[in-house]
Amino acid sequence: MTGRRAVHEGLGMWINPCNGIHMIFMRFAIDAVFLDNQERIKKVYRKLPAWFGVVWLEWGAHSVLELPPGSTSGIDLQRGDQIIIQ
């Protein structure tokens, strides 16, 4: 999402394969949901800050969902929950 000014509500990006991200050159915060190879949640990072947020490596992650900031708040996402991507 580098180069964009925002992620619009209801949209996001699935990066596959991926087990780490950085926010350098990003102009906005995001929520990041790391998934294993069966699309089960490994870890949720809420409101990773623009420019300074870094997830060097999430062990066992195979992909990541990058979502608008705050889109995972109010959702009780737990490690091991299954995500269905269509």
Q: Domains of the chain: which residue ranges?
A: 13-67
The CA distances from residue 32 to 12, 25, 48, in Å, are 10, 16, 7
pLDDT 10s per residue in the chain (86 long)?
Answer: 555 566 778 889 999 999 999 999 888 999 999 999 999 999 999 999 999 889 999 999 999 999 999 999 989 999 999 999 88
What pTM did the predictor assign? 0.90
DSSP character string of 24-84? TT--S-EEEEEE-TTSBEEEEEEEEPTTT-EE---TT--EEEEE-TTTTTTS---TT-B--
